[in-house]
Amino acid sequence: MINLSSNKKLNLMLNNVVKEINTFSKRQFKHIDRLTEIGLSLSSKKELDDIFDMILQESLFFTNADGATIYTLSENKKYLNFEVVYNKTLEINLSRLKGNLNWMPIPLFDENSSPLMKTQAAYVAHTGEIKCYDDIYKQTQFVTTGTKRYDKKNNYRTKSVLALPLKSHENDVIGVIQLINPINENGEIDVFSNEDIHVINSLASLAGIALNNRQLIKGLESLILQFVSSIAQAIDRKSKYTGAHIQRVGVISKELVNVIQNDKKIFPNKTFSQDEIQEIRLAALMHDFGKIITPEFIMDKSTKLEAVIDGISVVEERCNLIINIVKKDKEIAELKNEPLKKFDKIVKEIEIFKVFINIMNSGAEFMSDEFVQELEEIYKFRYFSNDTEYRILTDDEYEKLSVRKGTLTKDEIGKMQEHAQTSYNILSSLTFPKKYKNIPIYASLHHEKLNGKGYPFHYTAEQIPFPARIIAIADIFEALTATDRPYKKGKTIMETLTILAKMASNNEIDSSILDVLIDSNYIFEYFEKFFNVKYKKEDVDIDAIKNIYHK
């Protein structure tokens, strides 16, 4: 005992006061230290259910409350959603995020958009005030019919109730914490003290900021996804043929991840976090961003002569012009009693040339050597009339028609291939969140091949990350099966898998991913979902397909 006064009674009283102050101060310092730790811990929580769990546990720790409810304001700010409902006595521990809480939200407005203030939680949500009652049954401000009905049903007595707002950094209410029945050392229902209210209010401030930060992050991620999806749709719509290519590649990539995670044979230990799955999905949606700069007449080139104007029409008009000139020359020759057969032969020859050019223009079939030779004869064709030379094909048209496979010339293919490099250039210039830092490289490698013969970087297998391999197969699979391409028909399931198998055999794509895809049911689901084609297992000779690349 400290000697604070010569009067013994006064000295005892002063020492008791000092002791109480000291005890109170130590308790407050402990609270401050714990709240500091809580603040640091809350700021590191990434998932909302972790944040709610911590709010719940710390609220119970500080107040020894028997029950607690955590609400959040709905996105439209018209309801309070139940996030957590806990009651120790009744052995209740429910969480919306954990899937065992689906209680109807509390409306905050009536049909006339007037605020509803008859429940304590709704009042706190509207006003941002703290509300505390020693006995909720004895107050008259709020309706307690529902509380009494619940208590009667569960043989319980809700008595002391404390409700505090969760506020954002802008002081907007984003939720409510409601605690009931603090239990004292004797196991009896007590009342919430001013110290309880002060500490829980401090906790609510920390929790509100943490919750708000997570909601802001979630909102930002949602905005990123919406923005990326919008750009992807815009690029898809840029082409009148490729429709929803990017969207479908995103779907296939995500499903491939699920197939791989569920595989217990080839990838027994392969798992992806939610962030990794989202990163792959976003990269898949961004893989064709570079097509923003690809000319539409190249993207949509359905025939070899198609350009800004339809080249085949120009050639046909030129053929018709030459035919008319030949016919006029025939009329003149007839007047001069000259031979006429050569004119008829030329007209017939040009008509045959027109049919052949139309066939070659489609690019649907691989051009044989015989066809190349025939095209060369057309290119060499010359007709002279009145000292003027007439040709059927220009040098540029001959070059385009000489393409053996597809509709694009070497230069046009180069222009198309630029989109992969451009995707990387665009995406690598953006600052993605750390967990999405791989998006630029994943998105831009969908045309790379494991044998190093792909583009734009000519990476080899060791340089191509696993997620990029997934997106590459998704891109090829979608392109092969698509029915909206102008230069080809959609492949059947066996045709698609055969081509993929040959690519795996040439070490172009990852054979292990292809194995998992072939063994899964997803291929069948895909054809049925997007093309309404129902294949059965017996329609696919899996052994024959796998023998192509497993030798």
Q: Please report the pLDDT score of residue 211 as a whole number.
A: 75
Q: What confidence score (pLDDT) does residue 216 get?
A: 64
The rounded distance, in Å, linking the Cα atoms of 505 and 451 is 11
Q: Using the predicted structure, report yes or no on whether residue 404 has a pLDDT greater than 80.
A: yes
Give me the CATH code for the 239-296+411-549 domain, please: 1.10.3210.10
Residue 37: the pLDDT is 56
Contact between residue 446 and residue 427 where contact means Cβ atoms under 8 Å apart: no
Residue 482: band (very low, low, confident or very high) from pLDDT cuts 50, 70, 90: confident
* Coil, helix or strand at residue 447: coil
Backbone angles phi, psi at 420, to 5 degrees: -65, -45
| SS3 at position 461 | helix
Query: In 3D, which of 162, 90, 173 has the Cα closest to residue 130?
Result: 162
d(CA 439, CA 91): 46
Please tell me the distance from the alpha carbon of residue 167 to that of residue 318, in angstroms, as a whole number: 76
CA distance 493 to 490: 10
Task: Tell me what pLDDT residue 29 has.
Answer: 45
Residue type, 184: N
Characterize the bridge pairing of strands 106-107 and 131-133: unpaired
| Average predicted confidence (pLDDT) for the chain | 85
**pTM attached to this predicted model:** 0.63
Lowest mean pLDDT among 335-349, 423-437, 482-496: 482-496
- In tens, the pLDDT along 135-152 reads 999 999 999 999 999 999
Tens digits of per-residue pLDDT, 340-352? 899 999 999 999 9
What DSSP assignment string belongs to 318-371?
HHHHHHHHHHHHHHHHHHTT---HHHHHHHHHHHHHHHHHHHHHH--SPPPHHH
Residues in the chain: 551
Instruction: Grade residue 2 by pLDDT with cuts at 50, 70 and 90.
Output: low
pLDDT surpassing 50 at residue 31: no
Q: Where are the beta strands (DSSP E) in 211-359?
A: none
Q: Which stretch, 56-65, 148-157, 310-319, 333-342, has highest mean pLDDT? A: 148-157
pLDDT at position 28 is 47
Cα separation, 159 vs 139, whole angstroms: 11
Q: Measured between alpha carbons, how far is residue 76 from residues 73, 268, 330, 527 in Å?
A: 8, 43, 82, 38
pLDDT band at 208 (very low <50, low <70, confident <90, very high): confident
Distance from C-alpha of 135 to C-alpha of 162, rounded to nearest angstrom: 10
pLDDT of 240 higher than 70 = no
Domain 48-217 in CATH 3.40.50.360 = no
DSSP state of 5: -
Rounded Cα distance, 228 and 238, in Å:
15
Nearest to 248 by CA among 531, 460, 437, 516: 531
Kind and range of the H or E run holding 85: strand 79-87
Strand partners of residue 163: 131, 178
Structure tokens at 103: 């209680």
C-alpha torsion angle, residues 360, 362, 368, 371 (rounded to 10): -10
pLDDT for 6 equals: 65
Measured CA to CA, the distance from residue 327 to residue 385 in angstroms comes to: 11
Q: How many CA atoms are closer than 13 Å to the CA of 242, on its beta-carbon side?
A: 25
